[in-house]
Amino acid sequence: MTDEHTRAHLLKTASYEAAPEDVHRVLLLYSGGLDTSVMLKWIQDEYDAEVVTLTVNLGQPGEDYSVVEGKARQLGAVESFLVDAREEFAREYVVPAIKANAIYGLGYPLFTALGRPLIAKLAVEYARRSGCDTIAHGCTGKGNDQVRIEATVATLAPELKIIAPVRGWQMGRDEEVAYARENGIPVKGGSEVAPYSIDDNLWGRSSEGRWIEDLDHAPDDDVFQLVTRPEAAPDEAEVVTLEFERGVPVALNGERLPIVELLERVGEIGARHGVGIVDHIEDRIVGLKVRDIYEVPAAAIILPAHAELEKLVGTIHQNQFKPALDRQWAYLVYAGLWWEPLRGDLDAYMDSVNEQVTGTMGLKLYKGSARVVTRESPNAVYDQALASFGASGGLFSQQASPGFIELWSLQSRMAWRLRNG
């Protein structure tokens, strides 16, 4: 480690950043990947501090947590915690997102943005419980995740300090691999090709880096590790039904399921049919515009089902109004302000509207698409007899329509005449 590599982390900009003398026992948010494994060693050496690790299970598919924990111990962690937070994530983070039809920038269902405040809240809990003075994370200085994690820690635990080594240590991937080799840190999968930068949980998966940064490069097949490519999906369409109670999905194909299992099962069916691939240009909160490849099979089925059901049970006025609040909700959460009181205010509105969002939606899945095909709700503001083109009964008088039109268009007609007459 040269001086130029180590100096940057001594500079402090925000009050919550740790000066080296503040750092004695560090809670490291540990994924088991290269960055945080190098960090585990580096913090011990640089700060002469003890490191406690916390690994959070939010439903990342295919993760072997006993391996991650073993690696933490092997690299010198004095304690290593593993928390299965899937239930809390689904109930307290994903469900509110469903009620708010949460999509950022027309395509991103926020799975990472929803996970970070929970991970950071758990970091605060475990840091306090194990007597740590500092929290360390592996986010870079260019992303949104640093904002979400640090805003959470600074809000919930003003007494704790934060270090983000990747922001300051100025090691590129090659230097990290070299550091890992020197320090006996196992590097998964060789070091020849830089892998995609992946983040995932039970609500979705993102890939960044490599050719994804090249805007005129169409997706290579190997980026899709969750969703079947639509052209390889089954030739037979499949219809699934999703039942909602007060805005919460509760049953799949008539079978009531606990929320985590329901999200996972919907995700599996969607993935099989190639549903939920999003090739997304995104405005990050730190000013950068980037491209992400998302695989979001569960969200790509549940969000449209929910939105369609909500539209069925809402009045025209509710349906005109809510999308603006939905957008504000998604933006706040994207921007790392989960703990902002406005989010709670908006949630109260979302809960109120969702009181009526009970019913069953059928969706047809076919080679990458998920389309609502049937709707059923005791709260539908819908009367087939009234809507029908056939003769309708006494409740709707077609004779009243011309009078309505005359009054409804009155101001528009007057204004038109003034400007054009």
Active site residue 167: no
Q: Could you tell me how many helices (H) and strands (E) the chain has, helices first?
A: 16, 14
DSSP calls for 319-382 = HHHHHHHHHHHHHHHHTT-TT-HHHHHHHHHHHHHHTT--EEEEEEEETTEEEEEEEE-TT---
Among positions 261-290, residues that touch ligand ARG (CB under 6 A) are 282
132: its two tokens? 């740590």
Active site residue 116: yes
- Work out which of 92, 133, 208, 340 binds ligand ARG, going by CB under 6 A: 208
Quote the CA–CA distance of 305 and 361 in Å, as a whole number. Answer: 6
Tell me if 310 contacts ligand ARG by CB under 6 A.
no
Eight-class DSSP state of 224: -
The contact pattern for ligand ARG, residues 101-130, with x = CB under 6 A and - = no contact, is -----------xx-----------------
Smallest separation, CB 6 to ligand ARG (Å):
24
Total number of residues shown for the chain? 421
Smallest separation, CB 145 to ligand ARG (Å):
5
Tell me if 145 contacts ligand ARG by CB under 6 A.
yes
Count of residues that interact with ligand ARG, criterion CB under 6 A? 11
Quote the CA–CA distance of 277 and 178 in Å, as a whole number. Answer: 35
Smallest separation, CB 376 to ligand ARG (Å):
35
- Work out which of 17, 46, 50, 292 binds ligand ARG, going by CB under 6 A: 292
Report CA Rg, the chain.
25
Smallest separation, CB 333 to ligand ARG (Å):
9
Smallest separation, CB 139 to ligand ARG (Å):
7
Closest residue by Cα to residue 276 from 208, 202, 370, 201: 370
Tell me if 206 contacts ligand ARG by CB under 6 A.
yes
Tell me if 60 contacts ligand ARG by CB under 6 A.
no
Beta carbons of 149 and 137 less than 8 angstroms apart? yes
Q: Segment near ligand ARG (CB under 6 A), from 4-12, 25-33, 141-149, 311-319?
A: 141-149
Smallest separation, CB 201 to ligand ARG (Å):
10
Which amino acid makes up residue 399? Q
Residue 35: phi and psi, rounded to 5, are -55, -50
Q: Is 216 helix (H, G, I), strand (E, B) or coil?
A: coil
378: its two tokens? 């005791």
Question: Which of 101/144 has CB closer to ligand ARG?
Answer: 144
Smallest separation, CB 88 to ligand ARG (Å):
19
Beta carbons of 118 and 88 less than 8 angstroms apart? yes
Among positions 327-386, residues that touch ligand ARG (CB under 6 A) are none
Of residues 37, 80, 116, 199, which has the active-site annotation?
116
Tell me if 200 contacts ligand ARG by CB under 6 A.
no
Quote the CA–CA distance of 138 and 32 in Å, as a whole number. Answer: 11
Quote the CA–CA distance of 267 and 276 in Å, as a whole number. Answer: 9
Beta carbons of 294 and 280 less than 8 angstroms apart? yes
Question: Which of 46/199 has CB closer to ligand ARG?
Answer: 199
Active site residue 35: yes
Active site residue 347: no
254: its two tokens? 């008539």
Q: Segment near ligand ARG (CB under 6 A), from 33-41, 140-148, 157-165, 382-390?
A: 140-148
Bridge partners of 84?
57
Eight-class DSSP state of 19: P
Of residues 130, 191, 197, 392, which has the active-site annotation?
197
Question: Which of 113/313 has CB closer to ligand ARG?
Answer: 113
Q: Segment near ligand ARG (CB under 6 A), from 31-39, 138-146, 221-229, 341-349?
A: 138-146
Closest residue by Cα to residue 18 from 41, 52, 47: 47
Of residues 145, 200, 292, 326, which has the active-site annotation?
145
Q: Which residues bind ligand ARG (CB under 6 A)?
A: 112-113, 143-145, 197, 199, 206, 208, 282, 292
Catalytic residues, by residue number, are 35, 116, 145, 197
